[in-house]
């Protein structure tokens, strides 16, 4: 699954366009490497998001969702915060 679709599917961002903008501006990293929105993710990858205030959030991928827009209550099944 593409990283922009994954980020949107597990509700890290509300819209896929926001995830695409964040990837283009270089604030989202996959395994500590800045990537394009078409990069595929796999189980075990680490997604890092660097915010304007300097805070960094890290997420480990546990499972790839089969459906778009999984409920927020099921988010823990797909990612874990590090």
The domains of the chain are located at: 3-81
Burial class (CB in 10 A: 0-12, 13-18, 19+), 53: exposed
Model confidence pLDDT, tens digit, residues 40-82: 999 999 999 999 899 999 999 999 998 777 777 888 899 999 8
Model confidence, pTM: 0.88
3-81 adopts what CATH topology?
3.10.290
- CA torsion 66→33→35→3, rounded to 10°? 10
**pLDDT at site 66:** 84
Among the listed residues 13, 61, 19, 49, the one whose alpha carbon sits nearest the alpha carbon of residue 37: 19
Please report which residue ranges of 1-82 form alpha helices under DSSP H. Answer: 3-9, 16-24, 75-78
Asked whether the beta carbons of 68 and 82 are under 8 A apart, the reply is no
């Amino acid at each position: 699954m593409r990283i922009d679709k994954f980020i949107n599917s597990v509700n890290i961002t509300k819209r896929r366009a926001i995830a695409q903008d964040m990837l283009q501006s270089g604030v989202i990293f996959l395994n500590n490497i800045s990537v394009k929105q078409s990069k595929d993710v796999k189980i075990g990858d680490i997604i890092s998001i660097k915010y304007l205030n300097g805070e960094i959030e890290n997420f480990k991928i546990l499972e790839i969702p089969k459906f778009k827009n999984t409920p927020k209550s099921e988010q823990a099944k797909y990612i874990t915060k590090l």
